Amino acid sequence: AYLADTTNRYYLEDYGSALLRGGAYNKATDVFRKIVTTSTDPDHYRILAILLDNSKQTAEALKVLDTAEVRFGRIPLLCRLRQYALLKMGKTLAAEADARKAIEEAPYIADNHISLAKIYAMTRRDSLALISFRRAIEIDSLALEPWLELGEYYKTRGNTTAYLSVVE
């Protein structure tokens, strides 16, 4: 249908989804580039950023995520992808600043603290990582994710006693 009517936005989106399902990622990247020019769905930007990153175009993926932020504001999932792209490019300070900004805007969301904790852990600032993990747990002590992330942190550090205590 898209090939018969290339002006129809819905056909274009369906075509892009079909290409993804079929594993034609290079074609899907080109189609999603077209989709985001008129799209009002931030998920299309997420898909394009992932496609670009997977094809070793992380800088281009970061530009797409920045454009999405300008158009739609800060969206947690896109922020996480942005932080990942920044870390992948070796821009740890920028990733940390982005995570801190997310916390400033929404300090009550545990996932924001987890993201910052993971960045601290990657940069070997363990005391700051532990503080951030604990803040995430304080926000929602019944949520599983903060506990699992803290456990994973201890596991990667080889602290079996702490890991087992958290898992328990």
Tens-digit pLDDT profile for residues 69-112: 999 988 888 999 999 999 999 999 999 999 999 999 999 999 99
Phi-psi region of 56 (alpha: psi -120 to 50; beta: other; left: phi over 0): left
pLDDT above 80 (res 7)? no
* Per-residue confidence (pLDDT) for residue 3, from 0 to 100: 75
pLDDT above 90 (res 38)? no
Tokens 């281009």: give the residue.
60
Q: What DSSP assignment string belongs to the chain? A: -TTT-TT-HHHHHHHHHHHHHHT-HHHHHHHHHHHHHH---HHHHHHHHHHHHHTT-HHHHHHHHHHHHHHH---HHHHHHHHHHHHHTT-HHHHHHHHHHHHHH-TT-HHHHHHHHHHHHHTT-HHHHHHHHHHHHHH-TT-HHHHHHHHHHHHHTT-HHHHHHHH-
> If you average pLDDT over every residue of the chain, what do you get?
93
* Per-residue confidence (pLDDT) for residue 145, from 0 to 100: 93
Query: What is the sign of the dihedral through the CA atoms of 148, 62, 71 and 30?
Result: negative
* Per-residue confidence (pLDDT) for residue 168, from 0 to 100: 86
Integer angstrom CA distances of residue 84 from 3, 15, 141: 35, 28, 26
The pLDDT tens digits for 125-156 are 999 999 999 999 999 889 999 999 999 999 99
Cα separation, 153 vs 117, whole angstroms: 9
Residues ≥6 apart with Cβ < 8 Å to 26: 55
